[in-house]
Structure 1
Amino acid sequence: MNDIINESSKISIIKRLLKYVKPYKMKVIFVIFLLLIVMACSTLTPYLMKVSIDTFVQEKNIKALLFLGVALILVNVVSMILSRIRTIAMSKITNQILVDIRHSLYTHIQTLSFNFFDNRPVGKIISRVVGDVNALQNLLNNSIVNLIPNIFTIILVVCMMLILNPVLGAVCLITIPLLTFAMFFIEIKSDKKWKVFREHRSSLIGYTHESLSGMKVIQGFSKKYYAKDKFDTHIGKHANGFMNAVYTQDFFWPFLDLFRGLSMVILIISGYILTKQRNLTLGTLMAFFMYIDMLWRPIINLSAFYNAFVTSMSAGERIFDILDTKSDMIDENSNKILPPIKGDIEFDHVTFAYSKGEGAALKDACFKLNAGEKIALVGETGAGKTTITNLISRFYDPTFGSIRIDGADIKEVNIETLRSQMGIMLQDSFLFSTSIKENIRYGKLNATDDEVIQAAKAVNAHEFIEKLEDGYDTNVNERGSRLSLGQRQLIAFARALIANPRILILDEATANIDTETELLVQDGIKKLMKGRTSIVIAHRLSTIRDCDKIFVLSNGKIVEHGTHSELLLTPGYYHNLYSAQYSFLKQDA
């Protein structure tokens, strides 16, 4: 049953790959046309040799032999030139098809919800975009450069053998069906092992990416030997998976040599008998020897192609598995363009769980925020604060209930028009490995240099940027590693400000900024919040005193809400939390 499913899957993958080839079909037809000419030239050579031996050699016709020699040289030169043109043309087509597949894959990945990324390490996703697409390159190249020419060669050679001598031709081809049966039997067995190998390779890439990203943690906790042992385990599985697949697949080559030798023996014996009976000329026998050699070369090439085909099919399955993954937030009614918003937000009995079987991270949340209000979310770790901001940004959809912005259910509006009107600041602000200027401009791609500078000045980032060696053109390195945590945060503030969002989310945005820097940035934050609906998550309660509303969460529920003063007047969670922080700070002082 599994084999049937696999074959069905291969056919489906081939059909889907052909869709990427379709835009280039005229170029492919041109390549195939050149291919046919090259194959015809190659197949003609043994026949011309047969004519020269049986006719011109016996007649001692030197002029005819010289003419035939020149003809053979010209045929081979033309074949060489056309073969070169064909190879270059096919390489260009293959490269463009791969570019199209990578574009499709990357574009599709960007549409997927956070659930997709939550369940897959980044390294494994990179493995799909880079490694698996590269594997398809071998398939596409081999399909045109090897598969089609070798199939045509076999057809032409078989036809020529049957035309020259049907009896000898049929006898020489007896071994082909036996070899075909052996090939498919072995390849079906090796197919499963190649899939296991690719899974191990993907896990290896995933762990390597993860460990390199967390190298500071590995070295900081002196766990390099532990990390090395895990890497050795992954690389061991990868190596063993490869060798198991190769061991199984290499059973085919002894069969190939056996049947190749058998066909030569059959040709010699049959040729001797027919020649003795005067039913076969010497030239025809020589031509058969050349045709047998021409026949087995493409068979060997096809065997190698099938090896690449099996491994490439596994890569194709993994690529199309991602392309077939649908975002769990796609709604047939979610094409409505969200016009410029004021910033009213309403949660209507919203419940949410990150995955089935897990407890709800947010339970029956009901509240309203008016446009321009500054509200704070407070509570212990895991209380549901970040979940609320994730739902507003529509990184996830509610399990139950609805969320409305300016009265529109966000599940019924285009995601891009929703998120383009939001600004999100996280505790660990991500910076791209490019210049500071380009990182700030990411909030507004058409921003002028002057707008970039004004945004940096507004959040008090301009001064430290100017002190850097290349100023705003300074490259921040991967994830902004060249800058301090506070400096990265200031640049992220400038990026959010230049985007001019209607809804601003600050998730522990000042947690990594030292006290002196925080004092500098508070004025910038006030400018950032002005005229916008702002949602602040903060553990330091001193930073949220001026908020219009404070929502206190515990175990996924909103247990208190009100202003800072109102909540302090009532003994409860917020009062106790504030008193504990104040007491701790007083004791520390």
Structure 2
Amino acid sequence: MKTLDLMKRFAPYFKKYRATLALDLFCASLTTLCELVLPLIVRYITNTGMTDLESLTVQMILSLGALYLVLRVIDAVANYYMANIGHVMGARIETDMRRDLFGHLQKLSYSYYSNTKVGQIMARVTSDLFDVTEFAHHCPEEYFIAAIKIIASFAILGTMNIWLTLIIFSILPVMLVCSMYFNKKMRRAFKASRDQIGELNAQVEDSLLGVRVVKSFANEALEEEKFKEGNHKFLDIKRKMYRYMAGFQTTTRVFDGIMYIVVVVAGALFMINRQITPADLMAYLLYVTTLLTSIRRIVEFTEQFQRGMTGIERFGEIMDAPIDIKNVPDALPLRKVDGDIEFRHVSFQYSDDHTEVLSDINLHVRPGDSVAVVGPSGSGKTTLCNLIPRFYDVTAGEVLLDGKNIKDFTLHSLRSQIGVVQQEVYLFSGTIFENIEYGRPGASREEVIDAAKKAGAHAFITQLSDGYDTYVGERGIKLSGGQKQRISIARVFLKDPPILILDEATSALDNESERVVQESLEKLAHGRTTLTIAHRLTTIRNATVIWVLTEKGVEEQGSHKELMEKQGVYYHLYRMYQDTMTR
């Protein structure tokens, strides 16, 4: 993205803090005033000493010294404000951007996370926005100071000798062109650096979360080699980045020298021709020093500027990611739910590869029915159920709840009425109590314990050292699969939704854990409209209706008895499952 476009995108974040920014820039102008006054004082004393030494009294010198001392006090107070409040303003802007970024991430659909590495997202939420704090504070400040110094210096020096001033300032555009060349190179290098650090984060996260698999296959050396490759790639990018930075800084130093030598040589020639006084030439050198000091600060800030621009650009890339699933205009909150679900001519395909998963599906679930969805892997069982809470939106057709299109309801109210128990349980890093309470934030301890009892989890929880306050570890690593699943069921019990989706909730458990969890699920499903996706077909024989989903669509539907008598797809799936279990 172009720098101007990025600045326009970033500018609204200053709106809340425009008073702070205005005061910060006012303080910046005060500190600049102090630097601009010193050469004038030196020039005045030098000129007076050379032309009328007797008029240069002690009182005058002390008065000028006192004036400069007052200016230095003002400079110190202004600089304190800039360093303190100015930086806090930058931190507040960073906080606002991180809030907006996280809020946008919460609204993005499953498909976004299916195609984006979490490590890349983490880099953008953390390290990328760290650079914005310094950028937000220093960018307006440094360029404002530089603008004041350049304009004021030109005006003051022009009164001394306009031709020497024009010669000096004619060098600045050439310096600017060279700087812009290296700036573009640095921007690309910084962007590549940020992208690669995101890849490294993703790789480290992947390796550490899968550390048990790594160790079980004794593949530590392989992981180190993969990391080494990514780490060296990052080093190569940094080498290129620092090469451009070195070129930028070297070019600036060369122009520094050119400007000094021009002032000395041209100024001396003008002085020989009596077109400039020695005092004015001395003032020239001081102003050029002030000017070059300001340019050096801009040079030093350029690295931070490019980091900030890169952070804003990567921030914008996420913020520009479209929210595929959102509330339609005039969406209404869903209040009372009977649990009547209908799929009417539903088709679905993923947006990234346009592979059609479901085609013209027509199904109906009556309130309180227990529906089982079976079929071979890849037939779209999970996708079909994910359409109900709008984790994905249909490509064609509509899903109805109690006779109304689910898109007519707000997302929050719709999902609040649906409980999902998945095969892969996710527990947050925290206590057992906090993980169960997540089903209904703010629930009392008694309500949490009651939900755990219904889920068959209370007995094992009370046997733990800290009971409900036991820390479960990252992703619940300290608990067994069956224990984690029962906590996830307790979470749904606490939520108490009228519609329930069980996505292969017992397929990863051993027989004993499956039996306990299955009993909990049966309690949970009682009186609710339930859709169960199952591989273990013995667990769904009591379902009201079974849907057999294949790549051709819904091939069969009926009760277990009806489908077995039909001896079709379900019959063969069931017999195959039984044969597998008896081996």
| Shorter-chain TM band | over 0.9
- Where does residue 47 of structure 2 map in the other structure? 54
Question: 1:365, 1:557 within 8 Å by CA — same for their partners in 2?
Answer: yes
Q: Residues 264-303 of structure 1 correspond to what in structure 2 (within 5 A)?
A: 264-303=260-299
Q: Which of 543, 546, 557 is matched with 1:547 structurally?
A: 543
**Deviation at residue 286 of structure 1 after TM alignment:** 2.1
Distance 1:356 1:556 in 2: 22
1:42 touches 1:76 (CA, 8 Å); kept in 2? no
| Alpha carbons of structure 1 residues 68 and 333: separation in structure 2 relative to 1, 3 Å | closer
Shift in alpha-carbon separation, 1:556–1:224, aligned structure 2, 3 A: farther
Q: Which amino acid aligns with 1:256?
A: T
The alignment status of 1:141 with 2:134, answered yes or no, reads no
Question: Counterpart amino acid of 2:575?
Answer: S
State the Cα distance separating 1:38 from its structure 2 match. Answer: 1.5
Per-residue deviation, residues 115-154 of structure 1 (Å, max 9, x unmatched): 1111111111112211222232232132134222233222
2:557 corresponds to which letter in structure 1?
Answer: H
CA drift of 1:222 comes to: 2.3
Q: Which residue of 2 aligns with 1:561?
A: 557
> What residue is the counterpart of 2:446 in the other structure?
450
Given residue 181 of structure 1, which amino acid in structure 2 is its aligned partner? V
Q: Give, in whole Å, the separation in 2 of the partners of 1:92 and 1:185.
A: 33
Counterparts of residues 406-555 of structure 1 (less than 5 Å): 406-555=402-551
Give the whole-Å Cα distance in 1 for the aligned partners of 2:143 and 2:351.
Answer: 46
1:231-265 CA distance string (max 9 Å, x none): 22222222212212321342222222222112111
Matched, 1:24 2:20: no
CA 18–357 in structure 1, closer or farther in 2 if over 3 Å, else same: closer
Query: Is the 1:440–1:494 Cα contact (8 Å) retained in structure 2?
Result: yes
Structure 2 unpaired stretches of 5+: none
| Pair 1:15-2:8 in alignment | yes
- Given that 1:90 and 1:144 are in contact with CA atoms closer than 8 Å, whether structure 2 keeps it comes out as no
TM-score (norm 1): 0.94
Q: Which runs of 5+ in 1 are unaligned?
A: 1-5
Instruction: Give the Å deviation of 1:392.
Output: 1.3
Change (3 A) 1:202 1:252: same
1:177 aligns with 2:173: yes
Return the alpha-carbon distance in structure 1 between the equivalents of residues 202 and 580 of structure 2: 43
Please say if residues 158 and 165 of structure 2, whose CA atoms lie closer than 8 Å, have aligned partners that are also in contact.
Answer: yes
Q: Which amino acid aligns with 2:219?
A: K
For residues 527 and 495 of structure 2, what CA distance do their matches in structure 1 show? 14
The CA deviation at 1:457 is 0.8
| Residues 339-358 of structure 1 aligned to structure 2 (within 5 Å) | 339-355=335-351, 357-358=353-354
Quote the residue 2:63 is aligned against.
67
Residue 156 (structure 2) aligns with: 160
Do the aligned partners of 2:120 and 2:195 also contact (CA within 8 Å) in 1? no
Contact 2:326 2:411 in 1 (8 A): no
Deviations 1:175-194 (A, max 9, x none): 21221121123323443333
Aligned residue for 1:328, secondary structure, equals: coil
1:307-327 deviation per Cα after TM superposition (whole angstroms, max 9, x unaligned): 333343233222112212222
Query: Cα deviations across residues 319-340 of structure 1 (Å, max 9, x unaligned)?
Result: 1122122222346447232232
Q: Give the C-alpha shift of residue 280 in structure 1.
A: 3.0
Distance in structure 1 (CA, Å) of the matches to 2:200 and 2:538: 46
The equivalent residue for 1:3 is none
Q: How far did 1:357 drift? A: 4.5
Give the deviation of 1:518 after TM superposition.
3.4
Q: TM-score, normalised to structure 2's length? A: 0.95
Which sits farther off after the overlay, 161-170 or 234-243?
161-170
2:110 maps to what in 1? Answer: 114
Q: Give the superposition deviation at 1:437.
A: 0.8
1:38 aligns with: 31
> How far 1:358 moved relative to its partner?
4.7
Q: Are residues 1:232 and 2:225 paired?
A: no
Q: Identify the range of structure 1 (255-264 vs 348-357) with the bigger mean alpha-carbon deviation.
A: 348-357
1:553 partner SS: strand
Measured after TM superposition, the shift of residue 537 of structure 1 is 1.4
Q: Alpha-carbon deviations, 1:32-62, whole Å to 9, x = none?
A: 1111111112211111122222226823522
Using the TM superposition, name which of 146-155 and 292-301 deviates more. 146-155
Residues 325-377 of structure 1: CA deviation (Å, up to 9, x unaligned): 22223464472322321111101121212245454222322110011111111
Q: How many residues align?
A: 580
Taking the aligned partners of 1:65 and 1:358, their CA distance within structure 2 comes to 82
Q: Taking structure 1 as reference, are residues 190 and 522 closer, same or farther at Cα in structure 2, changes over 3 Å only? A: closer
- Residue in 1 aligned with 2:305? 309
Structure 1 window deviating more from structure 2 (540-549 vs 221-230): it is 221-230
CA pair 357-511 structure 1, distance change in 2 beyond 3 A: closer
Q: Measured at CA, do residues 523 and 188 of structure 1 come closer, stay the same or move farther in structure 2, by a change above 3 Å?
A: closer
* Contact preservation (8 Å) 1:347, 1:404: yes
Shift of 1:556: 5.4
The offset of 1:174, in angstroms, is 3.0
Does the alignment pair 1:386 with 2:382? yes
SS state of the match for residue 346, structure 1?
A: strand
Q: Deviations for 1:534-553, whole angstroms, at most 9, x for unmatched residues? A: 11112112211221111112
SS at match of 2:347: strand
Q: State percent identity of aligned pairs.
A: 32
Q: Give the Å deviation of 1:112.
A: 1.1
Provide, for residues 245-304 of structure 1, a one-character-per-residue CA deviation record: whole Å limited to 9, x for no partner. 321342222222222112111211233233334443333222222111100011122223
Q: By how many angstroms is 1:171 displaced?
A: 2.9
Secondary structure in 1 matching 2:378: coil
Contact 1:459 1:493 survives alignment (8 Å):
yes
| Distance in 1, Cα, partners of 2:151 & 2:345 | 70
- Residue 154 of structure 1 aligns to a residue whose secondary structure is helix
Q: What is the CA-CA distance between 1:105 and the residue it aligns to? A: 0.8
How far apart, in 2, do the equivalents of 1:113 and 1:356 lie? Answer: 13
Aligned mates of 2:481, 2:303 — CA distance in 1: 50
Whole-angstrom CA distance in 2 between matches of 1:151 and 1:467: 70
Aligned amino acid, residue 40 of structure 2: Y
Alignment of 1:253-264 (within 5 A): 253-264=249-260
